[in-house]
């Protein structure tokens, strides 16, 4: 599918409040098959998501350690996670310590997932990811661990106000770029 047709389809799925505010830009290199195309998603004529630009306003992590020590990432801990740590401890452990251990485990998992999604994104071709998005259900895109399907689903008109509001906790565990587009969609409700 040509880029102009793909862009037209993506824009037809935009939430009415975001039409004219969100713009998709992509390039690819026909004669350099080993070089991925560039992906830019602009909001209000400002490039917000640009994989190769250090001046982007969204934070890109360099290491898992950065993610683990980022105070902006809030990790909710559930009772079943505490029970799992309690079971693994094989002895009495103070309740506060159980929470610290569970949060540490979850931070490590999250760091690995975010780094994997980020590295996949920088290697990927936006055109291919957007085509996959159009072929999948909106639920699959929302539940994906990949950044591009999450972003495209968040700005999609098929996601209603109630569903957006119910996603607040799940979004805290996503990449900052996904969180940015979630906040953008919230502000447009």
Q: What are the beta bridge partners of residue 40?
A: 25, 50
Give me 1's structure tokens. Answer: 């599918």
Residue with tokens 């047709």: 5
How many structural domains are present in the chain? 1
Residue with tokens 């037809």: 12
Q: Using one digit for the tens of pLDDT, what is the confidence trace for 141-185?
A: 998 888 888 999 999 999 988 999 999 888 888 888 888 999 999
Tell me phi and psi for residue 28, to 5 degrees.
-140, 165
Q: Which domain does 46 fall in, by range?
A: 3-63+115-187
Residue with tokens 């159009």: 134
Q: Using one digit for the tens of pLDDT, what is the confidence trace for 47-90?
A: 887 765 444 556 666 777 777 777 777 777 888 888 888 888 87
Give me 144's structure tokens. Answer: 């994906």
On whether residue 99 sits in a domain, the answer given is: no
72 CB-near residues (< 8 Å, 6+ apart): 176
Q: Is the pTM of this model over 0.75?
A: no
**What confidence score (pLDDT) does residue 152 get?**
92
On whether residue 54 sits in a domain, the answer given is: yes
Give me 94's structure tokens. Answer: 């103070």
């Amino acid at each position: 599918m040509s880029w102009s047709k793909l862009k037209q389809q993506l824009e037809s799925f935009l939430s009415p409040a975001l039409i004219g505010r969100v713009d998709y830009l992509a390039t690819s290199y026909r004669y350099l098959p080993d070089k991925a195309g560039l992906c830019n998603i602009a909001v209000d004529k400002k490039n917000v998501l640009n994989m190769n630009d250090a001046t982007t306003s969204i934070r890109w992590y360099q290491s898992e350690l950065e993610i683990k020590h980022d105070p902006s990432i809030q990790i909710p801990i559930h009772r079943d996670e505490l029970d799992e740590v309690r079971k693994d401890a094989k002895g009495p452990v103070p309740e506060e310590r159980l929470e610290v251990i569970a949060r540490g485990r979850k931070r490590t998992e999250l760091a690995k997932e975010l780094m994997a999604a980020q590295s996949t994104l920088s290697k990927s071709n936006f055109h291919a990811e957007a085509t996959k998005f159009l072929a999948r259900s909106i639920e699959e895109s929302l539940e994906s661990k990949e950044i591009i399907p999450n972003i495209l689903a968040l700005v999609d008109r098929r996601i209603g106000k109630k569903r957006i509001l119910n996603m607040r906790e799940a979004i805290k565990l996503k990449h900052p770029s996904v969180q940015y587009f979630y906040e953008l969609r919230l502000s447009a409700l």
